[in-house]
């Protein structure tokens, strides 16, 4: 499986300037490429091929006076910026034609120097190197200090350097890891992603949002309010914006850390994990959708999926429009819809008393088992799950792939 491993970088002032230059050049090449394709389209010409585009906005551009400075950064960085543009176009076309499932993909957009997150990517061709003294050597940038919070499992195939909204630098390596199935265990679990709590398991375990996260979220909300009151263009507004960015990062870190620990524990303790598909879940289609997505469920579910694949566990999304909160998990009687404020109910048929969320989790478990039995034998697990996109730029002490 390919996974991302991220580490904090501490570039010197000179290296920061070199990185800023590289971020800028990558952005310019990306935008030049996008503009060339848009102009061609507007003029009724055919789509500019990847090779042709690279010749135009990199090779030829370097020879002109106004783009001569592109020569100051690694050519690989520029090629990779164009590769990103090409991927964005391919995804957009695939989405248009219906070959790509899921949400519609928008056409590529211009990158701005004001973007919160700046990235450049070096592949093997760029000859980046991990030095014996622990530094990361990047061509035309230098040997950067890295905080190695853990070991890389294998030689990385690429490294993305990220500068986040708070001005922190990270190196995100893509590495090949070997799948290491864990010894089999008995339990299976159904998980209901809740509103009052983060999640509820079919064995009755209620998982609340951690206190650090709640506290960080409260502070963020306050800082956002403070920011909105500051006069535009004032020094105080700049300060308030930095504060909001920092708290944002803190919330994201806490959330990711929590999701990692929880998903690891669940995958380790259960042979099979079933989760309601968020696209199908009733909540995601309602007004509650925003808070639902804020809770970071999709990132959590993705972690469950790739960790299950990696450690030889079974994972499935339960993608049916089954009203999991309306059916008695003990006898199967359908009891009709209940408003959200009803947390507990008694089954009219078998008199079982149910907690709403635990009952839902049990129904998810039951539905998952049925699906798994039906698919028995024919079940093919994908051997390679790409490192989830959300893992990019994972922060400092967090360990994305750790079990
Ligand atoms: Zn019942």
Given the residues 257, 276, 305, 322, select the one marked as catalytic: 276
Instruction: Give 75 or 285, the one with higher predicted confidence.
Output: 75
pLDDT of residue 384: 37
- Per-residue tokens: 41: 């389209």
Query: Residue 113 — very low, low, confident or very high, per pLDDT cuts 50/70/90?
Result: confident
Query: Three-state SS for 46?
Result: coil
CA-CA-CA-CA dihedral for 190, 194, 197, 200, to nearest 10 = -10
Cα of 350 vs centre of ligand 1, distance in Å, is: 4
Residues 170 and 275 in one domain: no
When comparing pLDDT for 299 and 296, which is higher? 299
Same domain, 164 and 211: no
Give yes or no for residue 391 having a pLDDT over 50. Answer: no
Distance 43 CA to ligand 1 centre (A): 67
How far is CA 266 from its chain centroid? 19
Q: Where are the alpha helices (DSSP H) in 138-234?
A: 211-229
**How many Å lie between the centroid of ligand 1 and the Cα of residue 205?**
21
- Ligand 1 centroid–CA 362 distance in Å is 13
Each residue's pLDDT tens digit, 151-166: 888 899 999 999 988 8
Q: Which of 261, 301, 278, 273 is nearest to 388 (CA)?
A: 301
Torsion sign across C-alpha atoms 77, 165, 111, 176: positive
Q: Which two tokens stand for residue 182?
A: 């864990």
Same domain, residue pair 33 and 97: yes
Q: How far away, in angstroms, is 328 Cα from ligand 1 center?
A: 5
Using alpha carbons, list the distances in angstroms from residue 340 to 42, 247, 330, 331, 357. 51, 31, 21, 22, 11
Distance CA 356, CA 347 (A): 11
Specify whether 342 is located in the same domain as 208.
yes
**What gap in Å lies between CA 90 and CA 284, rounded to an integer?**
28
Check whether residue 165 and residue 255 sit in a common domain: no
- 294 as an active site residue: the answer is no
Evaluate whether residue 31 is within a structural domain. yes
Give domain status of residue 379, yes or no. no
pLDDT band at 382 (very low <50, low <70, confident <90, very high): very low
Q: Is residue 399 part of a domain?
A: no
**150 and 262 belong to one structural domain:** no
Question: 32, 192, 322, 391: which is the annotated catalytic residue?
Answer: 192
Q: Which of 5-9, 124-128, 210-214, 215-219 has the lowest mean pLDDT?
A: 210-214
- What separation in angstroms does the CA of 333 have from each of 201, 329, 349? 21, 8, 7
Q: What is the mean predicted confidence (pLDDT) over 369-376? A: 80
pLDDT tens, residue by residue, 188-206: 999 988 767 888 999 999 9
Tens digits of residue pLDDT in 220-229: 899 999 999 9
User: Which band of pLDDT confidence, cut at 50, 70 and 90, is reported for residue 392?
Assistant: very low
Could you give the number of structural domains in the chain? 2
| Percent of all residues in the chain with a pLDDT value above 90, rounded to a whole number | 50
| 44 plus 146 within the same structural domain | yes
Per-residue pLDDT, 172: 95
Q: For residue 86, what is the DSSP state?
A: H
What distance in angstroms lies between residue 174's CA and the mean position of ligand 1's atoms?
Answer: 50
Whether 192 sits among the annotated catalytic residues: the reply is: yes
Number of residues written out for the chain: 403
User: Residue 213: which domain range?
Assistant: 188-373
pLDDT given for residue 282 in this prediction = 55
To the query of whether residue 276 is one of the catalytic residues in this protein, the response is yes
Q: What pLDDT is attached to residue 37? A: 97
> In this structure, what is the dihedral angle of CA atoms 294, 297, 300, 301, given to the nearest 10 degrees?
-150
């Amino acid at each position: 499986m390919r996974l991302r491993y991220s580490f904090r970088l501490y570039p010197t002032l000179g290296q920061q300037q070199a990185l800023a230059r590289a971020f800028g050049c990558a952005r310019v090449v990306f935008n030049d490429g996008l503009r060339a394709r848009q102009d061609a389209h507007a003029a009724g010409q055919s789509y500019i091929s990847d090779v042709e585009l690279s010749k135009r906005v990199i090779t030829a551009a370097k020879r002109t006076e106004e783009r001569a400075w592109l020569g100051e950064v690694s050519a690989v960085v520029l090629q990779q910026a164009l590769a990103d543009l090409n991927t964005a176009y391919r995804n957009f076309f695939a989405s248009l034609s219906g070959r790509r499932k899921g949400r519609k993909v928008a056409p590529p957009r211009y990158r701005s120097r004001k973007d919160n997150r700046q990235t450049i990517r070096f592949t093997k061709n760029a000859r980046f190197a991990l030095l014996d003294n622990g530094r990361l050597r990047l061509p035309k940038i230098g040997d950067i200090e890295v905080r190695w919070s853990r070991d890389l499992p294998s030689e990385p195939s690429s490294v993305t350097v990220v500068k986040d909204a708070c001005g922190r630098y990270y190196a995100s390596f893509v590495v090949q890891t070997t799948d290491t199935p864990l010894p089999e265990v008995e339990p299976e679990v159904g998980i209901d992603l809740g509103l009052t709590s983060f999640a509820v398991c079919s064995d009755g375990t209620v998982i609340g949002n951690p206190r650090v996260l709640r506290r960080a979220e409260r502070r963020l909300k306050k800082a956002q309010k403070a920011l909105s009151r500051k006069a535009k263009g004032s020094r105080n507004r700049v300060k308030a914006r930095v504060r909001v960015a920092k708290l944002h990062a803190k919330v994201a870190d806490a959330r990711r850390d929590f999701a990692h620990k929880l998903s690891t524990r669940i995958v380790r303790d259960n042979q099979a994990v079933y989760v309601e598909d968020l696209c199908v879940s009733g909540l995601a289609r309602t007004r509650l959708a925003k808070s639902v997505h804020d809770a970071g469920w999709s990132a959590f579910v993705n972690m469950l999926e790739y960790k299950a694949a990696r450690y030889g566990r079974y994972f499935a999304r339960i993608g049916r429009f089954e009203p999991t909160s309306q059916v008695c998990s003990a006898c199967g009687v359908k009891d009709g819809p209940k408003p959200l404020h009803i947390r507990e109910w008694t089954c009219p048929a078998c008199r079982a008393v149910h907690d709403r969320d635990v009952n839902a989790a049990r129904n998810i478990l039951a539905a998952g088992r049925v699906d798994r039995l039906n698919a028995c034998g024919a079940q093919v697990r994908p051997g390679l799950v790409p490192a989830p996109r959300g893992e990019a730029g994972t922060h400092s002490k967090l360990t994305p792939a750790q079990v």
